[in-house]
Amino acid sequence: MSKQFFGTDGIRGEVGKYPVTADFMLKLGWAAGKVFAAAGRQTHVLIGKDTRVSGYMFESALEAGLVAAGARVTLLGPMPTPAVAMLTRSQKASAGIVISASHNAYSDNGIKFFNAAGAKLSDDSELEIERMLAEPMETVPSSSLGKASRLGDAPGRYVEFCKSTFPDTLSLEGMRLVLDCAHGATYQVAPKVFKELGAEVVLIGAEPDGYNINLDVGSTSPAALQSRVLSESADVGIAFDGDGDRVQCVAADGSVVDGDELLYVIANDRLQWGEALHGVVGTLMSNLGMEQALADIGVELERAQVGDRYVQELMAEKGWLLGGEASGHIICADLTTTGDGIVAALQVMAAMARSGETLVALKSELHKLPQTLINVGVRDGFVLEEAEKVIAASQHVEDVLGDRGRLVLRSSGTEPLIRVMIEGADAKENQRLAEGVAEAIRQSH
């Protein structure tokens, strides 16, 4: 059975357009409450959100649906996605819900779920919720209704958790950092974490108004951070996305350091300090240069499907503790259960503090290959594997590149798009080959 509502990272879309509507969220809360019902005790669900104005509406709708299903609800207010995962575990809750559209504009919103262990839901669990959505909504008797309360010290608990992942023997004293909180969910907690560890902090993107989340700031718009790092003569800049589960950095020279490079820095630091590191999990889109740099230090790279959930599943299967995506979702499984921008940034800061090296120096052995990405719109129901012209064009690319590069074709999990990515040493050749495959897709539907 295919999923109707859940994509690669929960349910997401434009506010006011089905299913991102108040009435759907009411039913979704009820359906989730029924699915998460725990035998022998009342279901307890935490709800956190980012700073979008629509979060108020969806928070209330989900709360009503959950209470109608008999669940107890704890409201966390604006909190990063990984904070909800952490608090779900520490509060022994049945599940956690995050209201966020991550790096999207304020006009979008979405829902992510965590299970009791603080991990993303399995496909089976998402399908179970979808099956329950098809059932008529029936409110439990008044004697069984849930109640809602607010966890007032949620930000402080998460700050202390983040600090606990930074080595006790180290300090950020003497480091000048620029933090870009994307006017999003990290705006309250990230500054406290880095200041309390000793850093001098300059803040941008920390004045949310409900409408400016990710607007020309954050991990997907690094120009403002680059400029500020240079003007402040900062040691490093750190940019989070709207819900705080991903991070990108800017080095002292103004260069952007993406998730692949940060993952390499963390992996190499762990090796340098004697930790066992058998392998790292990336994705189909992870740069070949990272794979080569990891191989040079004796670390294997395995590739998962795109999406931090799939990275985490492969990490669990391999028994490995480190994985992530170029976008900045980095999972340190010995510290967290999901991608955590603040925790990942702290591991990079620890590498700098331990070595006394700049971020530029720490990533200097990784030489990224140029990548060309083209998104091609397709009709709903387009089957990539059945398009003969695309198959022929792909074979041509593989014949040309040989072992000098890679072609990745994948369908978007959220839009009717095929993503064409070609990676190789020659950027012009990459572009020409990618355009050839893109044109074959256009001619096939």
- The catalytic site residues sit at 102
Query: Which H or E run contains 48?
Result: strand 44-49
**Alpha-carbon distances of 44 from 32, 71, 117, 370, rounded to whole Å:** 11, 6, 13, 47
**What's the maximum distance between 2 C-alpha atoms anywhere in the chain?**
69
Tokens of 173: 């004293």
State yes or no: cis peptide before 19, omega within 30 of 0.
yes
Question: CA-to-CA distance for 205 and 189, rounded, in angstroms?
Answer: 13
Question: CA-to-CA distance for 416 and 19, rounded, in angstroms?
Answer: 17
The strand order across the sheet containing 417-424 reads 371-377, 417-424, 405-411
**Phi and psi at residue 251, to the nearest 5°:** -75, 170
Tokens of 61: 């709708």
**418 beta partners:** 376, 411
Torsion of Cα atoms, 337 then 205 then 327 then 90, to 10°:
0
Compute how many other C-beta atoms are within 10 angstroms of the C-beta atom of residue 413.
Answer: 15
Question: CA-to-CA distance for 94 and 69, rounded, in angstroms?
Answer: 14
Query: Which H or E run contains 342?
Result: helix 341-355
Count CA atoms closer than 13 A to 317's CA, side-chain side.
Answer: 10
Query: Which H or E run contains 249?
Result: strand 247-251
Helix/strand/coil percent split, the chain, to 5: 40, 20, 40
